[in-house]
Amino acid sequence: MAVKHEQLGLSDEDVLLMYEKMLLARKIDERLWLLNRAGKIPFVVSCQGQEAAQVGAAMALDTEIDYVLPYYRDVGIVLSFGMTCEELMLFSFARAGDPNSGGRQMPGHFGQKKNRIVTSSSPVTTQVPHAVGIALAAKMEKKDFVTLVTFGEGSSNQGDFHEGLNFAGVHNLPVIFLCENNQYAISVPLDKQLACERVSDRAAGYGMPGITVDGNDPLAVYEAVKQAADRARDGEGPSLIETTFYRFTPHSSDDDDSTYRSKEEVEEAKKNDPLRTFASYLKDAQILTEENENAMNKKITEVIDEATDAAEQAPYADPSSIYKYVYAEKDGDN
Amino acid sequence: MAVLSYIQAVTEALKEEMKRDDKVFILGEDVGPKGGVFRATDGLYEEFGEERVLDTPLAESAIAGVGIGAAMYGMRPVAEMQFADFIMPAVNQIISEAAKTRYRSNNDWNCPITIRAPYGGGVHGALYHSQSIEAMFANVPGLKIVMPSTPYDVKGLLKASIRDEDPVLFLEHKKAYRLVKGEVPDEEYTLPIGKADVKKEGNDVTVISYGLCLHLALQAAEKLEKEGFSVHVLDLRTVYPLDKEAIEEAASKTGKVLLITEDNKEGSVMGEVAAIIAERCLFDLDAPVQRLAGPDVPAMPYAPPLEKEFMIDLDTIESAIRDLAEF
Amino acid sequence: MAKAITMPQLGESVTEGTISKWLVQPGDKVKKYDPIADVTSDKVNAEIPSSYTGTITELIAKEDETIEVGELICYIDVGDTEENYSSDSQHKAPTQEKEVSEQAKHEPSMKNRYSPAVVRLAQEHDIDLKSVQGTGRSGRITRKDVENIIQQNKEIPKKVEDERTESVAPSPPQHVNTQHSHNISVGTNDEKIPVRGVRKATAANMVKSKQEIPHAWTMVEADVTDLVNYRNSIKEDFKKKEGFSITILAFVIKAAAEALKEFPDVNAVWGGDHIIRKNSVHISIAVAADDGLYVPVIRDADEKSIKGIAKAVSELAKKGRNGQLTIEDMQGGTFTVNNTGSFGSVQSVPIINHPQAAIMSLESIIKKPVVMEGDMIAIRSMVYLCLSLDHRMLDGLTVGRFLARIKEKLEDVQHFKGHIY
């Protein structure tokens, strides 16, 4: 069991890094909740419980050339694609230095062109056709990159999901559709969202493979995404991957999840917390030791503290900047 | 100078831009071997191939959304909505995505897509092949809406739209496609988006219009000229964002303003034009600003007399101009 | 019964079609929906069917000819069958009578409803809208009406500037406000005559005079029977001898000039805060010319004989008619005599020739029955002498005496007899 990552071609360093990113994502998220409850940031939408799927998927891609269209919980993905902790803090504090939007968007609406993290909005699933469009461009331009797009299971009911998958299927495009199934679309549970058993069942309708993997296992997700990416690069077209796990937090800092689910249900789910299970895998394999775990925790705490302070002290954008960038401001702008 | 029909000007513009820039491609329903239901993309599939003249599944949100993704990447997609009436499934993509890409990313990303759609009535298209849809998009900063009236403007503005760094909704009047012909220079040119154009100088009454109605306004103006009424005609060409300075200038010139659109009256872009005039020109106004527009019924019916009742005709325009002149 | 078949619309947006082949010829019998021609359009190629049952009578469109939708392509004789009547019912859509705006005809007057543009322009250019004639509907004053007035007002001062450089102007127009009350719009049947030159100067002087001088008016009647008789008796000889006419006016001017010497208060000008009593008697006379009224001056009239005065009147009148009067000719008057009787006036209220103190008009001489001494009635030549005075400088008593003196002189013909030459 402990050699699974080796079978996947991952080194000990790779999986340690994988864990570190998951942990960083979790710790950042926890800090954001504290800041919210302290009245310092208006809003948090959380990644807790989904870090393994996010980091596992991102690490299966080529973060130098591939494109990613994350949805609003994907802290693990954007960290893996190059966004820094401080940048995420600037985003949550809505500061001018936020690379996603300069303080214009609510947290979670990621986008950073230099890292090929494609800008996103709040109406869900609109990013799916965009990913197909970018994949279409890759095909037309004969480029080797693949495009990964993520979304929740609720989003798999939107027209854009079906239109996007169908388009990609028809035109055989190098795109990976990654569903992060956390069991709830805000308050509505899976069985009120899907008539079929799994989101991945829907792939058949669009002529592509669809699989469901354990989203608490970063290596399983890594494996599935790696295969899909290889297929895409080989010209074999799109894939739908459903990752399943449990959302540990309420939908957002404005949601009270006790109105629709029990504390016991949440506690039960937390027994499968991917950070705990992956840590024990790494400990079993003696990759994660008490020593490097302490060092890692210390380092992450330092990074987050510094990032929080820096972001809190950073300036807001000038109010007059609200008028900027409705359209290209000069010929050179693109 | 060649004389082209309105739709030939569309085709020419597409062809020239595809030749000029490999990143320009067309996607839509029936745009491929068929060359489009109106034949706007006639011959382009043969010339540029399947990949650049892409027949898509019948799904408007995907046509817009896939185009938007490609545009974000750096392509120059020209997406065709078969009829403007069918653009509704793509509205989320156009308004929430294309129009806001630059702004929400603080200028990091942009979306240079052109979305073409044939609009307008008088072709026995009934409720769902006749609508004017511009007003629904004319409150969306980040988007540009171009509605040319002449083949010359069509070609220059479509080329400019394709080269524009931001999303452009390019609305073509389907009745004008073969009805309206005009001279188009042989040499390469583009026209500025966002600039209205004085199509006729005059000093008794100002008519502001766009699209097919513009031609009716010009015909009425010519007729009335013989009776001694001098009519100033401004073609908006871009209905969002409006050329406020040109509107102010044209309205102030005579102080008597008639606004004409084929769209339903209430909430049409002409309401905004009237507001601009009210804000800027009060002390130059010599008569109430008048609007001629389609009636406030959902859309034009199929039966010819009912359709005719909806559409604005030459006589109505003529008498409205005369009425203002004599006021 | 012949019916027209027209080019159908083959597809949305299609506006024309080309007949590639006729499938029928004149004389052919066709049933409704039988194909009659192959047509190609931008969108489709199709056989077009007949709309009627009948016999083709004439093909109008030629093969390969492009025909606009709705244009005639052929005629068909349909007889009187029922179905054919209904077939074109769609073209007979109930044409809704557009309600002609009866209201417009009975609209209340719009004369006092001003648009924002009209109000603004009127305020900016100091125009009284009450006096503007509107050309808009129901008498509404349009922006163009006001703009026209502004344009006119702009042109006037400009032309006066131009003419000031010419010496024909009687007296340089003074800068008085003549801009008021120009806001009368020109109606469609009116003729617009620009005010310029002498008329403009006259206008300016008259306005100044009327605005500045408190005018008072008085009149006397003189019996000039003897004077008229005397003048008639010498008239022909005088004309023969001197080459110009001796007129009653010359006698009146002589009488006035003499009276002015006796009543120096009348021979004066207004100096703003003082009165300037003039030593010389320079009498202005009004000379009508085609382009307006000139008021040249007979200098030292008191020193001139009646002949000298008559000569001066004659010369000045001639110069006036010929446009030869100079500014010098018209300067320095101390009193004005106006021969209003020459154009038939029997009574007038003259406006003082600013800055003089008074002006007198000589009215028409009229034969009237007059009650004479001893209550006898006689037919006499009577004339009114009307006088306007500047009430700042003069009052009724002085002027009454002054006029009485002139009357006395005119009625005493002996007084003149030694002064003709």
Asked if chain A contacts chain C via 3 or more Cβ pairs within 8 Å, the reply is: no
pLDDT at C336 (0 to 100): 94
The alpha carbon of residue B148 is apart from the nearest alpha carbon of chain C, in Å, by 16
Adjacent-strand bridge partners of C74? C5, C59
pLDDT at C178 (0 to 100): 42
Mean pLDDT of C344-352: 90
Q: Confirm whether C95 is domain-assigned.
A: no
Q: What is the CATH number of domain A4-315?
A: 3.40.50.970
Q: What percent of chain A has pLDDT over 90?
A: 97
Look up the ipTM and state it.
0.95
Active site residues of B: 129
Cis peptide bond prior to B151, omega within 30° of 0: no
Mean pLDDT of C133-160: 83
Given C179, C203, C227, which residue is the final one in a domain?
A: C203
* Whether B103 contacts chain A with CB within 8 A: yes
pLDDT at C81 (0 to 100): 58
Q: Check which CATH number belongs to the domain holding C72 and give it.
A: 2.40.50.100
Given C139, C173, C203, which residue is the final one in a domain?
A: C203
pLDDT at C166 (0 to 100): 39
pLDDT in tens, C274-319: 888 888 899 999 887 777 778 889 999 988 999 999 999 988 888 8
**C197: pLDDT strictly greater than 70:** no
**B85: pLDDT strictly greater than 90:** yes
pTM of the predicted model as reported, rounded to 2 decimal places? 0.72
pLDDT in tens, B271-316: 999 999 999 999 999 999 999 999 999 999 999 999 999 999 999 9
Query: How many residues comprise chain B?
Result: 327
Q: Same domain for C326 and C407?
A: yes
Which residues of chain A, if any, have pLDDT below 50? none
**C382: pLDDT strictly greater than 50:** yes
Chains touching chain C, criterion 3+ CB pairs below 8 Å: B
Are B166 and A105 within 8 A, CB to CB? no
- The widest CA-to-CA distance across chain C, in whole angstroms, is 123
CB interface of A with B, residues 60-89, below 8 Å = 67
Q: Confirm whether C98 is domain-assigned.
A: no
Averaged pLDDT of chain B = 97
Q: Confirm whether C408 is domain-assigned.
A: yes
Q: Same domain for C138 and C68?
A: no
Q: Same domain for C245 and C348?
A: yes
List chain A domain ranges: 4-315
Q: Confirm whether C208 is domain-assigned.
A: no
* Residue in A135, A160, A324 nearest the CB of B61: A160
How many domains does chain C divide into? 3
Q: Same domain for C233 and C303?
A: yes
pLDDT in tens, C223-271: 999 999 999 988 888 888 888 888 899 999 999 999 999 999 999 888 8
Domain that holds residue C265: 215-417
pLDDT at C86 (0 to 100): 46
Q: Same domain for C255 and C401?
A: yes
Query: B113 with B71: CB under 8 angstroms?
Result: yes
**C139: pLDDT strictly greater than 60:** yes
pLDDT at A113 (0 to 100): 98
pLDDT at A333 (0 to 100): 61
* Cα–Cα distance measured from residue B96 to residue B92, given in angstroms and rounded to the nearest whole number: 5
- Determine how many CB atoms are found less than 10 A away from the CB of residue C64: 10
Q: Same domain for C340 and C192?
A: no
Mean pLDDT of B169-197: 97
Averaged pLDDT of chain C = 82
Q: How many CB pairs under 8 A join B and C?
A: 69
Asked if chain C contacts chain B via 3 or more Cβ pairs within 8 Å, the reply is: yes
Q: Same domain for C199 and C219?
A: no
* Residue in C14, C143, C144 nearest the CB of B178: C14
Q: How many CB pairs under 8 A join A and B?
A: 150
Q: Confirm whether C92 is domain-assigned.
A: no
Are B285 and C117 within 8 A, CB to CB? yes
Domains and CATH numbers, chain B: 2-184 (3.40.50.970), 197-326 (3.40.50.920)
Q: Same domain for C219 and C147?
A: no
- For strand B257-264 and strand B290-294, is the pairing parallel, antiparallel, or unpaired? parallel
Q: Same domain for C169 and C250?
A: no
Residues of chain B contacting A171 with CB distance shorter than 8 Å: 54
**C43: pLDDT strictly greater than 60:** yes
**C104: pLDDT strictly greater than 90:** no
The alpha carbon of residue B150 is apart from the nearest alpha carbon of chain A, in Å, by 26
pLDDT at C292 (0 to 100): 74
Q: Same domain for C274 and C296?
A: yes
pLDDT classification of C83: cutoffs 50, 70, 90: low
Q: Check which CATH number belongs to the domain holding C399 and give it.
A: 3.30.559.10
**C383: pLDDT strictly greater than 70:** yes
What SS3 string covers chain B?
Answer: CEEEEHHHHHHHHHHHHHHHCCCEEEEECCCCCCCCCCCCCCCHHHHHCCCCEEECCCCHHHHHHHHHHHHHHCCEEEEECCCHHHHHHHHHHHHHHHHHHHHHCCCCCCCCCEEEEEECCCCCCCCCCCCCCHHHHCCCCCCEEECCCCHHHHHHHHHHHHHCCCCEEEEEECCHHHHCEEEECCCCCCCCCCCCEEEECCCCEEEEECHHHHHHHHHHHHHHHHCCCCEEEEECCEEECCCHHHHHHHHHHHCCEEEEEEEECCCCHHHHHHHHHHHHHHHHCCCCCEEEEECCCCCCCCCHHHHHHHCCCHHHHHHHHHHHHHC
The alpha carbon of residue C121 is apart from the nearest alpha carbon of chain B, in Å, by 9
**B193: pLDDT strictly greater than 60:** yes
> First CA to last CA across chain A, in angstroms?
50
Given C172, C203, C234, which residue is the final one in a domain?
A: C203
Active site residues of A: 247, 251, 260
Q: Same domain for C81 and C125?
A: no
CA dihedral C393, C399, C405, C407 (to 10 degrees): 130
Mean pLDDT of B152-159: 98
Q: Same domain for C337 and C230?
A: yes
pLDDT classification of C102: cutoffs 50, 70, 90: very low
CB interface of A with B, residues 178-217, below 8 Å = none
pLDDT at C326 (0 to 100): 78
Chains touching chain A, criterion 3+ CB pairs below 8 Å: B
